[in-house]
Amino acid sequence: MARYASLLTLVFSSIAHTFSHLFTLLFATVVLVLEKQWGMGYDTLFALSIPMSVLFGAAALPAGWLGDRWSASGTMSLFFLGVGGCSVLAGLSDTPLTLCLSLAGIGLFAAIYHPVGIPWLVRNATNRGRALGINGVFGSAGTAGAALVAGFLADRYGWRAAFIVPGAVCLVIAAAFLWARQSGLLLDRKEDLVPQPAPAKSDIWRVFWVMSATMLCTGLIYQATAFALPKVFDERLSGFFHDSVFGIGGMVTIVYTCSALTQLVGGELADRYSLRGVYATVQWLQIPVILFAMTVIHPALVGVAALMVSLNVAGQPAENSLLAKYTPPQWRGRAFGVKFVLTLGVSSLGVAVIPVIYRLTGTLDVLFILLAGAAACAGVFALMLPRDGRRLPAAEAQPQTAAAE
């Protein structure tokens, strides 16, 4: 029973990870259609998504608290129902205000996943790094698929379908999740399936403060890149695809599809080597790639952007493993809530600055300089983490017996 519950947890957690990124990024491509249909400027329309971006991070802390105090699987039920329902409402919106409110609702419910779904997965995982790597691939698939799904549906059936169709699919998954939970196929563990040695209290606080800085920087890079790439490709490469929104979405999809697999590599490295070493290395490697991307005006930009995003997401399994390692299980939801307040909430300032940079300069080139600076800061802070040495192979860890199950 424990094995099946662990597998099913990975399946639903991974689907939810896909949805959390897909739904919050649909508008980044839809806005290119609305510019023409609603006759509004890109900067004005893009600003409608800022409340969604802020809530996607800011609501993470109360969501994590709810998952710790009530039920992780119960809170995940709210995720599927809320995200799907608000997406349908976004597709039915007739005014900028109603669209903004619907997008804000997507951000509010999507905020549940990271502080609740990831700790839920960690508690049920036998190979933590591998599970986080697989889960990360699905998250990147959501980011990759958002532009393609939105571009295809908007080009073929209109921008409303870009919200309504994915929303309906999410509600179907919600029904399956509720059935599995009601049938007892999903477990709410209080302790980890595979226990870890307790860290020193001094290391707990040290990691908390250092990672607060690194996670803010890595989140800013991820958020700003995900929202800006459709416009960057539209400016530099649209001529190669005859100004097709679907073509632009396809390029963004290629970037995030290629980068998704690096999380599997990152997960395996996190299981085998120093978490600190893996985490710091990918931060430093990002800097030259980001600065090079700023200069490329050629289809090769797709490959450079894929490498840029790959390095950013490759460190995520190590980052999540570090946070889980230095956090007691009963506080893990709140700890991940704090993380995603920083990475998705405070770092949404990076998203908010996109229309400002575009309005002042007419391009998004300056954004790349800011991202390179954030990567440098993350690299410096990552070196301040405790040395953790080589990781023990997962096979040496003995899962707890399922007596309470």
Between CA 224 and CA 129 the distance in angstroms is: 26
Q: How far is CA 257 from CA 251, 309, 313, in A?
A: 10, 10, 12
Residue 195 has what pLDDT? Answer: 56
pLDDT per residue as tens digits for the range 43-88: 889 889 989 988 887 888 899 889 888 889 999 999 999 999 999 9
Closest to 399 measured CA to CA, from 189, 188, 131, 125? 125
Residue 399 has what pLDDT? Answer: 42
Q: Token pair of 202, please?
A: 């001094």
Residue 391 has what pLDDT? Answer: 47
**What is the separation, in whole angstroms, between the first and last Cα of the chain?**
8
Please list the rounded mean pLDDT of every run of 10 residues in the chain (405 residues). 76 95 92 87 87 86 88 94 97 94 96 91 78 85 84 92 97 96 81 61 78 87 85 80 72 82 84 87 94 88 91 88 78 77 70 84 88 94 78 44 35
Residue 195: count other Cβ atoms within 10 Å of its Cβ: 12
**List of residues 6+ apart from 81 with CB closer than 8 A:** 109, 171, 174
Name the residue ranges covered by the structural domains of the chain: 2-391
Between CA 179 and CA 92 the distance in angstroms is: 28
Residue 1 has what pLDDT? Answer: 55
Residue 285 has what pLDDT? Answer: 95
Query: 2-391: which CATH number, 1.10.260.40, 1.20.1250.20, 3.20.20.70, 1.10.10.10?
Result: 1.20.1250.20
Our CA angle for 206, 212, 217, nearest 5°, is: 135
**List of residues 6+ apart from 241 with CB closer than 8 A:** 247, 248, 250, 251
Residue 87 has what pLDDT? Answer: 97
Burial of 14 (0-12, 13-18, 19+ CB in 10 A): buried
Give the 3-state DSSP-derived string for the chain, with helices as H, strands as E and coil as C: CHHHHHHHHHHHHHHHHHHHHHHHHHHHHHHHHHHHHCCCCHHHHHHHHHHHHHHHHHCHHHHHHHHHHCCHHHHHHHHHHHHHHHHHHHHCCCCHHHHHHHHHHHHHHHCCHHHHHHHHHHHHCCCHHHHHHHHHHHHHHHHHHHHHHHHHHHHHHCCCHHHHHHHHHHHHHHHHHHHHHHCCCCCCCCCCCCCCCCCCHHHHHHHHHHHHHHHHHHHHHHHHHHHHHHHHHHHHHHHHHCCCHHHHHHHHHHHHHHHHCHHHHHHHHHHHCCHHHHHHHHHHHHHHHHHHHHHCCCCCHHHHHHHHHHHHHHCHHHHHHHHHHCCCHHHHHHHHHHHHHHHHHHCHHHHHHHHHHHHHHCCCHHHHHHHHHHHHHHHHHHCCCCCCCCCCCHHHCCCCCCCCC
Give me the phi and psi of 28, to 5 degrees please: -60, -25
Amino acid letter, residue 22:
L
Residue 122 has what pLDDT? Answer: 82
